[in-house]
Structure formats: structure tokens, C-alpha cells
A and B are shown apart, each in its own frame.
Chain A
């Protein structure tokens, strides 16, 4: 009794609601019967409430250490700090699928509420499609991934969550962000499917579709970057991305969603690329489900071990269903989505967006191929293979550079057809600065064609974006005598999409430069040091002062005390656990390291302890200086700011408090 019963009953209630919403919503929508919409909406509310409550019950079970719940017995522990106890909700398979359900409920509930009086044409079918997806996940939670299994003889204590997950604070934010990104893609999928099922895609539906894709896109972007940050801050190898299947799984839907966010501009403006744009939305959802399957089913340990996982087959059936449904829908209803115009000239905004889409799709294909190839060979040929990192780098780098180039060219070209001379004039300044960027990069010691080209193209794109952001404001300052702040606010308010897009472009530029600089300009040293010994690293020095140990409730640690001497003679002392250290968790045999990362604005000093010898007191270190690496994470606020500016609702004309802002919203 207790938690298990209540939690499981809520899941079953959610399942019933979802199944009702799915069947009645689809039937009512296809028969164009609007009388059922109300009931379907309430069923969606019921699902949302049930799943969110079921999660809260689980959190309560975790916090009260109710080990009669099998999931709590698996991941809970009395010694774990409260915050990580809450986090253990998503630290293992069953809990993470339950959490998926809560986020799904959250999105669907908000969607149903938001459009209760609007877009009646599509809402019944959209809610119906959402009901279908919700049914799948409710079945998964109720059956193969059921976290609500009751233990007749509960243990007195559990092992606690995976040490790797409770070792760093980023693990608290990274998974929810990623989940908000993944799960949110259900909404655009349902919206697009509804439009296809109905056989029409009116202009009025395009803006909501874009906004409901931009929200999960933002979370997914943040989640991916935070994942890299976590790897960097915990794993101690100095890297943040290794083309691991789990990383690729999150990157692929991001790529297709990014492609969609661009092609929808062509759709909204020129009424072309309709079918393509909708196909991207469907592909994006499919890739999130494939990604969830890849990360959750254990299929990447081995195809053979995957048969032991209960959720794998269920997921495969669902993936096949989505794929069949999407293809059928696109081929049956695609003819109804006729483009109303064609791309006229290769020198135009729409043509550059078309190329952007081709490159992003190519990149998705490259990543998908490299990720799935080992599965295919193992499944079909029984050969165990992995695809080496060089494959991904060799393929992705040129495509990314092409995208950077388009990032500068696209916004500089007008819609329709550009005058080649005018276009060349507009690109003169960015080109000059690109050359400057290349020279600066080479002067700072960058070697190799690709990194230097990356910096040049980054400068190229950055110049275009900075000009696009500042030009309208400068004009306004000249004309109206506004202050800089007023002028910037005014342009941000009146061209939200454009402002947001260019801020996000700048974030991408920052990330590219950070990757290029941290990879090519890093300084690396490996040493074993006796206490008191000093090692030089670039223009600074590290002194090893000896080992120290300590205990915390859930772990004990051995840490190296180190003193860093900077070029200007300033010293920073890291001792008593603040240096690079190894953490020992009671119920885990493997220690988890925590590297010392001293972040400055333009570089990180990164020291990880590799080994220590208690008898001699010596320790081995990996030492790095990574220029600009922090800018990978500093890009997050730009991504969020840009997205929020784009998402900010247009002010209703009546409610405008400032007379000036009540002027009709310009595009």
C-alpha cells in the first residue's frame, strides 16, 4: 500500500485519459465533429495532472526513503544529499521514463489550455495526436518500464544513485533541459500531423507551429551544451564532445529542428517548401524518439544485451509506427500542400535557406549513419564495430563551415532576387573582417586550414549579425535622437524574430570560435610530481603541495593541494578538497574524479589527478590550458535570450501602455 498503489493508480488513470483523448480526438477531428473537443481537452488535462502527480508521489517516496517501492530501493539511499535524492527521479530507466511522462503532461496541459478558444480548426486533431503519443508513454510506464513495483520485504537502505550523476551539480539541470527539448517536440509533431490529416495548412497555424518548435529547440540547445559542460567538468579528459551515441542522439533532432526553423521562414513568407517543412517537423519527432530509444534501451552496449531490456521492443514498434504514419501521411496528403511560389533566383534569401537546409540534412544523415552503422553491422553481420571519431570530424567540419558561410550570406540577401552588385557591396565589410580574423587566428598560433577558415567564417557571420542588430538602432538614434538603450530596445521590440535570430547566430559563432581555439591552441602537459615539485605550463606554474583527504556524508575524497602561479605573479591556492580530487562513493567500486578548473574569461586552467601514491605522497596529473573554452557555456545566455526575444508575444494593440509601442507591429 501507500506510494506504490497511489502512484500506479495515477499512471493507469493517465493511460485511460490518454487513450480516450487519442481515439475520440482523432475520430472527432476526422469527422469534423467539434462537439467532442471539450471532452478531449479535459482528457488531456486529466493525463497531465495524473502524470505530474504520479511524479510528485515518486519524489515523496524518494524523500521519505520508502524502500518498499522497488525504484526507490534501486536508486535511493539515506546518505544521499536531499538534492540528489530528488534528482534520482531521473537517474535510472524507470524513473526517467516516468519523468518523461510528467514533462509530456506539462507540455500537453499548457497547449490544451493555451488554445482552448483558438485555432478550433486544428485543435481536435492535434489533441488527438497528442493523446496517441501520450498513450504510448503511459503504456510504457504502466508496463515495461513500470517504476511502481512493490517490494514485499523492503530493504533498510539502498545503494543511492549512480555516483557519476551525483558528482556534479550540472546533473541536476542538464537532464531536465534535454527532456524539455526532447519531449517538447511532441507538440509540433502533433500540430503538423493534424494539419496533414486535415489536408490543409493555413497561414494562421504556421506561427504557433514555429513558436512551439522554438521552445523545445531552446531547451534542447541548452541541454546539449550543458551535457558538454558536465563531461568537461566531471570526466577529467579535458573534452566536451566525443561523438558518443548518446550525444549524437541529442544532436540529430536539434539539427532537423534548426533546419525547420529556417525553412519555415520561406514557408511563411513565400508559401513554398510546404511539404519539406512539414517533413522536417515529423523527422524531428522521429529522431527524438529514436534518441530516447538509443539512450534508454541499452542498445548501445550491445545489440545482444538489448533483448534483455523490456522497453527496447516496445520502442521499436513505436518508431516503426511513427515512420509508417509519417510516410503515409506525407504521400497521401502531400499533394494538398502545394507550393504557391518557387525559388526564383539562386541569389536570394530563400535560396540560401534552401542550401542551409540541405547542409543541415546532410549533417543529420552523416551523424545518423555513423551512429547506427555499428548497430546494423552487429545486428545483420554479427560483427562488432565502432565508428571512429575522425569519421565524424572529417564529415562534419566542412558542412559546419558551409553553414557558417551561409549564416553570413543568407541574411545579407533580400527575399526574391538580389542585385549581384548590391549583394557584393553588402558583403565587402564582412569579407574584410573575415580576412582579418584569419590573420589574427594565424598570428595567435592557429595552424591548419580548417581552424583558420573556421575563425574567418565566424568573423564573416558575426559581422553580418552585429550589423543587422546595430544598423536599425543606429538609424533610429540619428533620426529620433534616442539613447543607445532606447534604440536597441525599440528595434528588439519591433523586429523580434530578426533580433532573436541574430543573437542566436552570434551564440553559434561564439561556439565555433571556442571549439576552434580550445582544440588548436591548447597547451597540454602530463606529469608525476613529488610534494613541493613545480611544473611549468605555458606562462604559468603549478606547484604540488601534497595530498589531503576528507569525508562528506555520501562520499570521501583524496585531493591534491596545488598552488597555481600566474604570469603576473598572482597565486591561487587550492587545498583541502578544492584541488583536483578523486571521490569515493561508499557503494561504488570506482572513484569519480573532479578536475580542478580555474576559469578565466579567456582561458581555463584544467588539472585532473590521474593517480596518487599514498606511500610516497606523489601524484600524477594531466594539465591543460584551454583558450576560450568557457565561451562554449557562456553562449547559453545568448541562446536563451535570442529564443525568448523571438518568442515574446506580440503586444496586443489595445493593451499597449506606451503610445509609441502601439504602432502596428512591423515584421
Chain B
């Protein structure tokens, strides 16, 4: 190795360099991991459906939660000045689905309306009202094609297709 010639010319101090550098690097990596995991812990948000959240009982009071479900048709009510919006979030379309009252002072996004799938981020408390300042409409970046033949037939039927009518 031609680097050996150079190496011998260097003082003992510079030979300790790489070791020091490796140590410093390890420390930096450790510090980064420590900070990253710390911040991560502070910013974790539970992702639940209304029924899952209700199943957690009193332990759901307090922490930041992302609640995903459908806006129940006929449940949207604006306060007179349009300052606050109330609606009911449900698991699914069936009548027995778990439901949660949601209250927000933020204006929802442009696609928000009754019957749509939404995700709200906020907190739940003993008053059984979910308060949120962040409403997101579920939008896939990618269009999901039907997964199986039943879904596919269903889609074709909605498109008025003769094959699916058979």
C-alpha cells in the first residue's frame, strides 16, 4: 500500500485521528438516534376507528388520536355564525355502527361533506365529544382498482354494465 509511506511520516497524533473520528461518528449517530426516538415518542398518534376508540374506554381520554370513519349522513350542523361544526363519525354505513360526536372550529377541506370518509386528528374526553382542529379527507394518491371479482362486478354494475347484470 502506498499509503503506508505517508503514514509513517505522520505523527502518532494523526494516527489516532481515524479512531477519534470513528468515536465521534458513533457518538453523533447515537445522539441522533436518541433525539429521533425521543421526538418520535412525543409525536405518536393513535389511529383508531370509532369502535376501536370506544373499546379503549377511559384510556382514550387525553392522547392525540387520529380517528377515521364516515361522516354520518344528516349529522352535519354548523353553529349559527359558522364558527363551529358538529358532525357524527361512524365506523360504517350500518345503523348499528359505533358513532362519535365530533366538534371542530376549523373549516373542513373542500371535499368534506356527508357520507365521505374522513380522518380527524384531535382528542377525546369524558364529555364524549371528540375535539379536532385537523380534518383530512381520505384521498388515495393512487386509485385502487377492485381487489376481487365481487368488487369488480359491483363497479361494473354501478357503471351500468350488462355483464354484471347477469
Contact = CB atoms under 8 A, between A and B. Distances in A.
Interface of A: 73-75, 91-94, 96, 151, 153-159, 161-162, 164-165, 235-237, 244, 246, 295-296, 298, 308-309, 338-342, 358, 362, 365-366, 369-370, 373-374, 383-391, 394-395, 526, 528, 580, 582, 587, 589-593, 595, 608-611, 620, 622
Nearest to A161: B143
Contact of B110 (A246, A298, A589, A593): A593
A105 B48 CA distance: 43
Interface in B138-166: 139-147, 152, 155-156, 158-164, 166
B40 A587 contact: no
A155 B163 contact: yes
B97 interface: no
Contact of A235 (B3, B107, B139): B139
Nearest to A581: B110
Interface stretch (B31-39, B87-95, B124-132): B31-39
B47 A386 contact: yes
Given A165-B143, A373-B40, 8 more contacts: A73-B156, A92-B142, A236-B111, A366-B36, A370-B40, A387-B45, A394-B39, A608-B109
B36 A395 contact: yes
Given A92-B142, A165-B143, A246-B141, A387 B44 contact: yes
Contacts of B109: 235-237, 608, 610
A386 B45 contact: yes
Contacts of B143: 75, 91-92, 161-162, 164-165
Contacts of A340: 2-3
A411 B43 CA distance: 37
Looking at B17, B116, B155, which has the most chain A CB atoms within 10 Å of its CB? B155
Contacts of B144: 92-93, 298
A611 B111 contact: no
21 contacts: A75-B143, A91-B143, A92-B145, A93-B142, A156-B162, A165-B143, A235-B139, A236-B110, A244-B141, A295-B141, A338-B1, A342-B18, A374-B47, A385-B46, A386-B44, A386-B45, A390-B39, A390-B42, A394-B43, A593-B110, A610-B110
B9 interface: no
A155 B158 contact: no
Contacts of B162: 155-156
B82 interface: yes
B87 to A, nearest CB: 12
Contacts of A94: 145
Contact of A388 (B37, B44, B159): B44
Interface of B: 1-3, 6, 17-18, 25, 28, 32-33, 35-37, 39-40, 42-48, 52, 64, 66, 82, 107-113, 115-116, 137, 139-147, 152, 155-156, 158-164, 166
B105 to A, nearest CB: 10
B1 A590 contact: no
A162 B112 CA distance: 18
A522 to B, nearest CB: 15
B116 A384 contact: no
Given A236-B110, A341-B3, A582-B110, A155 B159 contact: yes
Given A386-B47, A391-B39, A611 B113 contact: yes
B36 A388 contact: no
B147 to A, nearest CB: 6
Contact of A591 (B18, B43, B107, B111): B111
Contacts of A374: 47
A295 B142 contact: yes
Nearest to B137: A590
Contact of B43 (A158, A244, A388): A388
A81 B50 CA distance: 40
Contacts of B35: 395
A391 B43 contact: yes
Most chain B beta-carbon neighbours within 10 Å: one of A94, A165, A384, A528: A384
Nearest to B141: A246
A354 to B, nearest CB: 9
A620 B36 contact: no
Contacts of A295: 141-142
Contacts of A373: 40
Pairs A-B, 9 closest by C-beta atoms: A162-B143, A593-B110, A391-B43, A388-B43, A155-B161, A236-B110, A384-B47, A526-B107, A153-B163
A595 B36 CA distance: 36
A387 B40 contact: yes
Contacts of A610: 107-110, 112
A595 B45 contact: no
B36 A159 contact: no
A161 B36 CA distance: 40
B48 A384 contact: yes
Given A295-B141, A395-B35, A159 B110 contact: no
Contacts of B108: 610-611
A569 to B, nearest CB: 29
Given A236-B109, A394-B39, A608-B110, A385 B44 contact: yes
